[in-house]
Amino acid sequence: MGKAITNINRYSVSEEEKRDKDFAEVKEAVADNKDAILKGIQLLKALEEGGTLDTAYAFTNAKRTALERVVQEISKEQYTPLLENLPSLIFLIGELDVNGIRDLTKRLNKGIEEMEQVPSDEKSNVLDVMKALKDPDVNRSLTMMLGFLRGMGRS
């Protein structure tokens, strides 16, 4: 029973009421998801202990600017070769014979160890070298090196 009206008195909730309501809502959500939230807290704790949380926080805050800066910087001409090399480098790693290199590295290390024990003023004459060839360790080293030189020349 009435004329057309358009005025609306907005329902106003006091700040306190609103906060109480929000709190109740959150409380309910917490209760409903107890396990997940506890796990979440553990996760946060782990991140905090490792210092990751601070980093992530700082990065998130500066995400847009950081990205802009990085993109701007990295787009400069001087990085072009780097950027273009980056994927090639990755592919290169894929092609390396890691086991071979590991073996070689071990041998290199051993060699260095041995080398360090040789007094710095000691000298060898041709005879010493000929004699050393009879030492199976020296002989193997030389044979391997010759093989390496052959292979490198071929490719």
Q: List residues binding another protein (CB under 8 A).
A: 1-11, 67-68, 71-72, 74-75, 80, 83-84, 86-88
The CB-of-60 to another protein minimum distance in angstroms stands at 14
The CB-of-78 to another protein minimum distance in angstroms stands at 13
* Residue number with CB closer to another protein (31 or 91): 91
Closest by CA to 19, choosing from 11, 10, 27, is 27
Please say whether the beta carbons of 82 and 88 come within 8 A: no
Please say whether the beta carbons of 73 and 67 come within 8 A: no
DSSP annotation string for 35-64 = HHHHHHHHHHHHHHHHTHHHHHHHHHHTHH
* Residue number with CB closer to another protein (21 or 45): 21
The CB-of-42 to another protein minimum distance in angstroms stands at 23
* Residue number with CB closer to another protein (29 or 67): 67
Closest by CA to 53, choosing from 62, 43, 63, is 43
* Residue number with CB closer to another protein (84 or 128): 84
